[in-house]
Amino acid sequence: MTAILMALDSIKEKKGRSFLTMLGIIIGVCAVLVLVAMVTGYNSDITSYYEKLGVNKVEISIDYYLSSRSPDVTDELYEYGNVDMSDIVTGVTPDLSTTGTVIYKDDNLDTTIYLGSDQFSTCNNYTLAKGRDISQADIEGRTKVCLLGTYVAETLFGQKSPVGETVQINGASYTVVGTYYQKDGTAEDSMDDMVVIPYSLNREVLGSSVISSYIVKVDTSNDMDAAIEELTTWFADEIDEYTGEVTLENGNSDLTSSTEETASLSAILGGIAGIALLVGGIGIMNIMLVTVTERTREIGIKKAIGAPRSEIVTQFLVESAILSAMGGIIGILLGFALSLIMGKILYDLILFPSTAITIAGFLFSIAIGIGFGLYPAVKASGLQPVDALRAD
């Protein structure tokens, strides 16, 4: 207790020097907190992007060697996915798109036209808001129906419900049968800037009957590998090596690799911040060595009148621990402020350093104070009283 008061006294006595000593710790702790918060922000940004896009997708693309002799496996794949693999697969759709112009009365809009099955929305994480989804009857009958993303719906219809209205897509008339909920901010070029029509209209819309990309939506990420394996076997039977080459990709791997990237990035940044903390620690050791030299005489007197070594060690350790703890606290406050500001600017998120990192940063700064204060403290306590007394 008295040791703490004494340490505070001596820190107060040389405010400027104490502050400069703390600066290393302040910067180190602050940097660690802000970096971790920013990486967290970046990760959640990326993750939410991929989640909006739809996770657990097996992306299949087929490179047919001869387009004229390419078989159409769409129906077989649909059936295989929905019957044979129904325990792990939740949807199958061709993955086709083009750009097109949608016209309603006097308004027109360039947007992305997707051609999908009745499971398009399941596969791509769209949720039906109004009306109905594409049906199997639409696909079989090549009915000219469409569903609108919120951006298209709002731009062309405003507050009015588009369901039942007729729009022109690339010159042909389509009946709007439904709309989706907003999932990406209802902005131009967002995931809400889109229209879906039955894939069976592909010959008319795309000018080709060949379907060479599919999405198979798997229930959980744990089943992804099993699904890919099963689909690979199935495709090997359907499309032999003379017909074409099938590529199956795990749609989660983009997310995984970008998460891995940020992990290694944060490791590097963390390392840099760690070096800042280390330098801060050396600063503390340096200043404590100076303090020991300055107070050699005081140490001599104390030892001469009976202070045990532990007393002297404690005195200096407490001082360096308080010094670094104060630095840690200031660093944490600064780190919170900076995280908030930068999170707002970079990701438009309210970002706080996590509690675990904050506590770890605080404890680490104290540990640095004790670790680097130990040498000067032990050095001070080991002086022969008479030698210490002779110092001036």
Choice between 132 and 390, CB closer to another protein: 390
- Bridge pairing between strands 145-148 and 57-64: unpaired
Q: Which of 2, 99, 159, 264 binds another protein (CB under 8 A)?
A: 2
Q: Which of 116, 198, 300, 331 binds another protein (CB under 8 A)?
A: 300
Gap between the Cα atoms of 382 and 308, Å rounded: 10
Q: Kindly state whether residue 270 participates in binding another protein, applying the rule CB under 8 A.
A: no
Give the range of 92-100, 148-156, 226-234, 304-312 binding another protein by CB under 8 A: 304-312
Q: Which of 4, 289, 389, 391 binds another protein (CB under 8 A)?
A: 389
Choice between 217 and 303, CB closer to another protein: 303
Contact (CB, 8 A) for 331 and 33: yes
Choice between 226 and 386, CB closer to another protein: 386
Number of residues that bind another protein (CB under 8 A): 21
Q: Kindly state whether residue 254 participates in binding another protein, applying the rule CB under 8 A.
A: no
Helix axes 355-381, 15-53, angle to 10 degrees: 150
Query: 55's torsion region: left (phi>0), alpha (psi -120 to 50) or beta?
Result: beta
Give the range of 154-162, 198-206, 361-369, 381-389 binding another protein by CB under 8 A: 381-389
Q: Which of 241, 306, 355, 356 binds another protein (CB under 8 A)?
A: 306
Q: Kindly state whether residue 304 participates in binding another protein, applying the rule CB under 8 A.
A: yes
Q: Kindly state whether residue 309 participates in binding another protein, applying the rule CB under 8 A.
A: yes
Q: Which of 8, 311, 352, 367 binds another protein (CB under 8 A)?
A: 311
Q: Which of 9, 204, 245, 249 binds another protein (CB under 8 A)?
A: 9
Centroid of chain to Cα 100 = 33
Q: Kindly state whether residue 356 participates in binding another protein, applying the rule CB under 8 A.
A: no
Contact (CB, 8 A) for 24 and 283: yes
The pair of three-digit structure tokens given for residue 278, joined into one six-digit string: 């280390």
Q: Kindly state whether residue 308 participates in binding another protein, applying the rule CB under 8 A.
A: yes
Q: Which of 45, 59, 165, 298 binds another protein (CB under 8 A)?
A: 298
Of 17-46, binders to another protein (CB under 8 A) are none
Q: Kindly state whether residue 144 participates in binding another protein, applying the rule CB under 8 A.
A: no
Q: How far is the CB of 288 from another protein (least distance, A)?
A: 17
Q: Kindly state whether residue 305 participates in binding another protein, applying the rule CB under 8 A.
A: yes
- Which residues bind to another protein, rule: CB under 8 A? 2, 9-10, 13, 297-298, 300-309, 311, 384-386, 389
